[in-house]
Amino acid sequence: MFSSRSFLIAVGVAFLAGMVVSLAVRSSGAEKAPRINNNTLKEIVRERWRVPLSSSRNLPGNGETPVWLANAVQEATGGSFIIDLFDPGQIVPAFAITDAVRDRKVPAGYTWLGYDQGKIPASALIAAKPFGMEPWAFIGWWLHGGGKELSEKIYVKHNMKPLLCGISGPETAGWFAQPLKSVDDLDGLKIRFAGLGGKAMQRVGASVTMLPAGEIFQALETGVIDATEYSQPITDQALGFNRIAKYNYYPGWHQPFSSIHMVVNLQVWDDLAARDQSMLEDLCLAATAFHLGLSEALQGPVIEKFEDIGVSARHLPDDMLKKIHDAANEVLDEEAAKDEHFAEVLASQRQFHKTYRKWRNLAYLSKDFDQE
């Protein structure tokens, strides 16, 4: 039986241990919980984040990268930093992620910033620019052309820190129920379209609507829309577009690149240890490389089987592309006239691309000499 002195010592030790655990878990608005490592019984979870996604984890081409990132963070920190991922709608709707991060309802989100276009006009350029740069050129602009600094300057006003954390190459130009024969076919066309590309399509006469991924198939099936764009072939096929819209058009003029960002609440970011900030930035760069490599590797095998499933892959007519190109430039210039941040990002991207393409046009092989 314990003596009174032994009992008081035991209580004191338990109290001090509880205080140590409480102090070890910093208050940052993120969900944190102490956890004992099964091997050492000493490891504590320092950070535990609930991170909503704008695209579901089960969508091939889009879902693998955030899963890779979460696993990499856990492994890099020995299990002391956990990222719990949530598909669209589980805790936050796909189009409301940055609002939730801004208001600290969640510590961070993983999303396509083009969904912010209505409240942060320049976000559309950060996410994808019609007739813009290839993905590797965008990475160059982000890291070495002032893109990162410009984006941070814009998003700090909205209480967020943006980290480039994924990127893919061109999307398809869309899935259409009927073939496109002339520019006139765009007039009155009911199509789901996102970002600045949607505004360009409106300019050439299309009736544009915006839908999250989970609602597109039903809209196609019921005739609410005649056509849609969303992502790359492997992702679009997983969503079933090819079952209804048999004409898949290229090139993806509206999104030659699609950048994905992890946005972190600014107070949460500032509360992080410097080592965790560096770790997240480094692993997001690694995730960007992972995503780009994956997106390039996955599309060819899908397109190779189009004929077997009755899908026709086609190029948009040149006159149609020219009309859309002119409309896109009009939209870009008009948006720049309305918003100073949009104008600043657009000027930066155009200047970078003007210089970059001197290198690209000289150094890269023409497709006439494509590898056999």
- The 3-state DSSP class for residue 300 equals helix
Express each pLDDT in 91-114 by its tens digit.
999 999 999 999 999 999 999 999
Provide the whole-model pTM: 0.87
What is the reported pLDDT for 300? 97
Residues 80, 43: contact at Cβ < 8 Å?
Answer: yes
E-assigned strands of the chain?
Answer: 47-52, 81-86, 108-111, 160-168, 174-176, 190-192, 207-209, 227-228, 247-250, 258-265, 312-315
- The ranges of the chain with pLDDT < 50 are 1-42
Express each pLDDT in 213-262 by its tens digit.
999 999 999 999 999 999 999 999 999 999 999 999 999 999 999 999 99
Per-residue tokens: 85: 């991922």
CA 83, distance to chain mean position in Å, is 17
Domains of the chain (ranges, CATH numbers): 26-170+257-297 (3.40.190.170), 174-255+311-342 (3.40.190.10)
What is the reported pLDDT for 67? 98
Burial-class residue 146 by CB neighbours within 10 Å (0-12, 13-18, 19+). middle
What is the reported pLDDT for 369? 86
229 closest CA partner among 203, 257, 250: 250
What is the reported pLDDT for 43? 58
